[in-house]
């Protein structure tokens, strides 16, 4: 740091201030992906866990899972859970369905954000497969059934914060995203619909 010592006192203040501004800007830029990673690893804030396979153990204890659906402002789709709730055995793999309809005259792309309530159940709600893992594109007037395959981890019964949980709510919110290039090109080339 010889160059820093060679600066005048005013130059040192400017260099230190500039380094602080750059450092704080870098932390601000990295905070969202770091927080997302933290939530996915720890389950903090109701973030769920993903797995490639089911649980190794199924318990006799059950928990009620409720399903919730919402849309961000400006998302034109109709979006709802097919079933509102189900009673599941802890550790047993289950599949639930959500349904989305695009009532517009143009293709619309969307991605789903999700969380689990109560937050203590987040690290124990494990998704094996989910429509929320990928962007969804619905053609004009198209309706799709979207599955989520999940289980509640048996480790929940040993977690001091989560062992008393008897109901879990899985919530999804769909957000509009930019159309993939191939869909955007099709949308521009399509003739206008007439009634």
Residue 190 counted as domain residue: no
Q: Where are any strands of DSSP class E within 7-117?
A: 49-50, 62-71, 78-81, 85-89, 94-101, 108-117
Residue 191 counted as domain residue: no
Residue 106 counted as domain residue: yes
Residue 192 counted as domain residue: no
The answer to whether residues 37 and 88 belong to one domain is: no
Residue 194 counted as domain residue: no
Tokens at residue 1, please? Answer: 């740091």
Q: Is the pLDDT of residue 193 over 60?
A: no
Instruction: Give pLDDT tens digits for 5-35.
Output: 777 777 777 877 887 888 777 666 655 455 4
The answer to whether residues 87 and 149 belong to one domain is: yes
pLDDT of residue 15: 74
The answer to whether residues 8 and 102 belong to one domain is: no
The answer to whether residues 166 and 144 belong to one domain is: yes
Full domain range(s) for residue 23: 2-42
The answer to whether residues 154 and 60 belong to one domain is: yes
Residue 193 counted as domain residue: no
- Residue 84 near residue 65, CB atoms below 8 Å: no
The answer to whether residues 117 and 92 belong to one domain is: yes
Q: Is the pLDDT of residue 195 over 60?
A: no
pLDDT of residue 173: 94
The answer to whether residues 9 and 70 belong to one domain is: no
Instruction: Give pLDDT tens digits for 87-113.
Output: 999 999 999 999 999 999 999 999 999
Residue 189 counted as domain residue: no
The total number of structural domains in the chain stands at: 2
- Residue 171 near residue 68, CB atoms below 8 Å: yes
> Residue 167 — φ and ψ, nearest 5°?
-135, 135
Alpha-carbon separation of residue 174 from 25, 68, 88 (angstroms): 30, 11, 25
Place of tokens 């989560």: 162
Where does the pLDDT of residue 43 fall: very low under 50, low under 70, confident under 90, or very high at 90 and above? very low
24 CB-contact burial (10 Å; exposed 0-12 / middle 13-18 / buried 19+): exposed
Place of tokens 């999700």: 114
The answer to whether residues 93 and 35 belong to one domain is: no
The answer to whether residues 28 and 89 belong to one domain is: no
Tokens at residue 177, please? Answer: 């995203």
CATH number for 146: 2.60.370.10
Instruction: Give pLDDT tens digits for 124-176.
Output: 999 999 998 899 999 999 999 999 999 999 999 999 998 889 999 999 999 99
């Amino acid at each position: 740091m010889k160059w820093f010592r060679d600066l005048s006192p005013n130059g040192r203040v400017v260099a230190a201030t500039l380094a602080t501004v750059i450092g704080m800007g870098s932390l601000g830029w990295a905070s969202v992906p770091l927080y997302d990673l933290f939530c996915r690893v720890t389950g903090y804030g109701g973030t769920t866990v993903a797995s490639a396979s089911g649980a190794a153990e199924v318990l006799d204890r059950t928990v009620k899972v409720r399903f919730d659906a919402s849309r961000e402002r400006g998302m034109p789709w109709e979006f709802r859970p097919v079933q509102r709730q189900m009673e599941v055995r802890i550790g047993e793999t289950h599949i639930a369905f959500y349904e989305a309809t695009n009532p517009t005259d143009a293709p619309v792309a969307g991605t789903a954000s999700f969380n689990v309530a109560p937050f203590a159940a987040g690290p124990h709600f494990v998704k094996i497969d989910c429509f929320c893992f990928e962007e969804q594109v619905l053609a004009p007037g198209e309706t799709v059934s979207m599955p989520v395959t999940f289980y509640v981890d048996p480790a929940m019964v040993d977690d001091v914060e989560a062992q008393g949980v008897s109901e879990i709510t899985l919530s999804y919110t769909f957000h509009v995203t930019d159309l993939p290039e191939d869909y955007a090109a099709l949308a521009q080339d399509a003739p206008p619909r007439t009634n």
